Amino acid sequence: MPTGNPDGAMNNATYRTKYLIQKRQYALSYNDDTHEANWVSWSYTSEDTGSQSRTDAWATEELLPSGYLKISTATFGTGWDRGHMCPSADRTTDYTDNAMTFRMSNMIPQTSNNNQGLWANFETYTRALAAGGNEVLIITGPGAFTGKTIANGMWIPGVVWKIAVVVPSASSTTPANQRLTTSARVIAIITPTSQRRKA
């Protein structure tokens, strides 16, 4: 968890609103009330980019405890994308790395205009930063819930937020948190996920 554990999530089934799942590809705090992650965190460097194409290996989250709602791989319905938190394109070294980004615990209901627009553009920008020799520490999640759900029970967020910390010298063997200085660039965005109204 390169950006820490902001809500004190634990790998303990009694922590139903902040259950910690740690994978090699990313870590997340899962909320069994909203049925999606509170946050997803990962580190990205140019070494995370390979030749693996998008797998579309949609799957339920096998690491959730018994008794938790395991969201199915069905589409989210008209107007909503299965929006990645850790992007597919950030994990392309091999099949497993990419497939893990298609676990439903890594998805939120996201409007197409946001997911495929500004959000996708920012993901591309962080990859460009990594290509320039940086390590980018990223944490992202949903917020400002509307009180509504989509058909599978996932809560609809009003916003999606992301924080990216740009750490130079990605090739260094020193961990990124030990290379951080007060001059490190921090980028924070928050974007609305409300659907556009038709004229």
**Rounded Cα distance, 95 and 117, in Å:** 26
DSSP state of 35: T
Question: Which residues sit opposite 42 in a β-bridge?
Answer: 138
Query: Does 35 qualify as catalytic in the annotation?
Result: no
At 163 the three-state DSSP class reads strand
Per annotation, catalytic residue among 35, 84, 103, 162: 84
Question: Could you tell me if residue 35 is left (phi over 0), alpha (psi between -120 and 50 degrees) or otherwise beta?
Answer: left
Report residue 164 as tokens.
């990216």
With 0-12 / 13-18 / 19 or more C-beta atoms within 10 angstroms meaning exposed / middle / buried, residue 8 is exposed
Catalytic residue set: 84
